[in-house]
Amino acid sequence: MFSKAVSYDLIRDFAVSETVDESQRWILSTMQRHGQELVTTLWRILGNEQDVCDAYQSTFLQLAHYKDRQKPEHIKAYIFRTASNVAISILRCRIAEKKRLSTAPVTIKTASSPASELDSKYLAQTLRCYIAQLPEHLRNVITLRDLAEMSYAQISKCLGISVATARVYRCKAIQLLAVWMNKEKQK
């Protein structure tokens, strides 16, 4: 398996090309400063090397074209918010593609043993699909807190909400996800 560090090194080496316009050097410094953390976050959200590379690239392309190539005031918050949105879009595309490819509704197989009940890959994928269906304000908090492992203080700064609001949104998101997962289990 391709490790996160190797993926980041390849992305960074590609980006450090001499063809970068002088006015865009701040993008390279942002990639070097926050790139590893961003790749780690994307791995936790997407769990797929190709999707991580696509999301990383899309994030920095959006940064490069931000308001006539101007540097955003809160660059770290911008790239993490953008990356989260790109990752959620990728997850939504996966869901839509699965629905298109399968004509029969998706059902959970009844487990015949405790080992098959704990199929972690299936549970993780199901949970990611449900996270993608959450309302945006809940999805952003749950993504940053549980998948990116950011503190509530960091989340409040990124999203421009209070720490208490971030906690409430996470609680509501978890309750909603629990209801959906229970309904899925009962199918």
Mean per-residue pLDDT over the chain, rounded:
78
* pLDDT grade for 48, boundaries at 50, 70 and 90: confident
CA 132 to chain CA centroid, Å, is 9
CA 52 to chain CA centroid, Å, is 9
Cα 97 to Cα 105: distance, rounded to the nearest angstrom? 13
Q: Which of 105, 140, 167 is the last residue in one of the domains?
A: 105
Cα 10 to Cα 155: distance, rounded to the nearest angstrom? 29
End-to-end CA distance of the chain: 34
Task: Return the closest-CA partner of residue 80 out of 166, 164, 143, 6.
Answer: 143
Q: Which of 105, 137, 168 is the last residue in one of the domains?
A: 105
Cα 50 to Cα 98: distance, rounded to the nearest angstrom? 17
Whether residues 60 and 115 share a domain: the answer is no
Please report, to the nearest 10 degrees, the dihedral formed by the alpha carbons of residues 179, 183, 186, 187 taken in order.
-160
Whether residues 99 and 117 share a domain: the answer is no
Whether residues 87 and 122 share a domain: the answer is no
Cα 70 to Cα 78: distance, rounded to the nearest angstrom? 13
Higher pLDDT, 43 or 70: 43
Residue 118 has pLDDT above 60, yes or no: no
Write the DSSP string, 152-176.
Answer: HHHHHHHHT--HHHHHHHHHHHHHH
Whether residues 57 and 76 share a domain: the answer is yes
Q: Which of 47, 72, 105 is the last residue in one of the domains?
A: 105
Whether residues 185 and 96 share a domain: the answer is no
Cα 130 to Cα 92: distance, rounded to the nearest angstrom? 10
* pTM score of the predicted model: 0.48
- CATH number for the domain harbouring residue 176: 1.10.10.10
* pLDDT grade for 172, boundaries at 50, 70 and 90: very high
Whether residues 56 and 125 share a domain: the answer is no
Domain range for 73: 1-105
